[in-house]
Structure 1
Amino acid sequence: MNIGSFKSVNGQLLGSVATATIDLARLGLRPVESNNERAPAFEIMVLNVAKRWVQIGALWEMTSNSSGESFFQGKLDDPSLPEPLQIMLFGDVEEGYRVVWNRPAPRRENLDGSRTGRRSRASNADDFAGNATADGRVSDDQTADDYVPAF
């Protein structure tokens, strides 16, 4: 499900995320400069009520196993949120990014009491940006028909 977008404005990636209960109208992606290969690509910043930029998340660059497409994956987290919001960004700097969300399935316990890892609820593929394989990998037939109505 698409819940937001980012676009380049005067050399900065600015955007928003909105759901039924969350409206983050002023978000920014701040590039992370690091030699650590495990460092995120971006810090997710939000303009708070006092008009100060504060970090509420991070994004790591990932590559699709099936198509080789690059995308960003991370989460938004803040004490005001009931739980972290897992997100993915698809697109590029020139065209902009669309913010995609999918609810992960809860962990299940095995008969021996051990827990299984989280798995995508949609095992038949209609999650994230339209299609994904049963194991959660993004397929290569992505479409970007995002329409934001004028108000």
Structure 2
Amino acid sequence: ENEKAPNLRVVVGNVEIGAAWQRTSKDNNTVYHSVKLDDPSFTAPIYANLFEGDDGECALIWSR
């Protein structure tokens, strides 16, 4: 609804545990999604980047 709202939401069942914002890399203009996952069952939030490959498959690269 606003410019800071996420482009995607991550839902398990009917509970939202995260969101993703579309970004474009400065180096090579690659479009990707910056993802944050958080849930009380996690010891800490998970930050990840979601990339779509040339073959249409996606790769989630994350760290804590």
Report the TM-score range of the alignment, normalised by the length of the smaller protein. 0.7 to 0.9
RMSD between aligned residues: 1.6
User: Whose strand fraction is larger, Structure 1's or Structure 2's?
Assistant: 2
User: What is the TM-score of this pair, normalised by structure 1?
Assistant: 0.39
Report sequence identity in percent: 37
For structure 2, the 5+ residue unaligned runs are none
Q: Which residue of 1 aligns with 2:48?
A: 87
Following TM superposition, where does structure 1 have runs of at least 4 consecutive aligned residues deviating by more than 6 angstroms? none
User: What is the TM-score of this pair, normalised by structure 2?
Assistant: 0.86
Q: How does 1:2-151 map to 2 (within 5 A)?
A: 34=1, 36-46=2-12, 52-91=13-52, 95-103=56-64
For structure 1, the 5+ residue unaligned runs are 1-33, 47-51, 104-151
Specify the structure having the higher radius of gyration (Cα).
1
Q: Alpha-carbon deviation of 1:53?
A: 2.6
Aligned residue-pair number: 63
Conserved 8 A contact 2:32-2:50: yes
Conserved 8 A contact 2:46-2:63: no
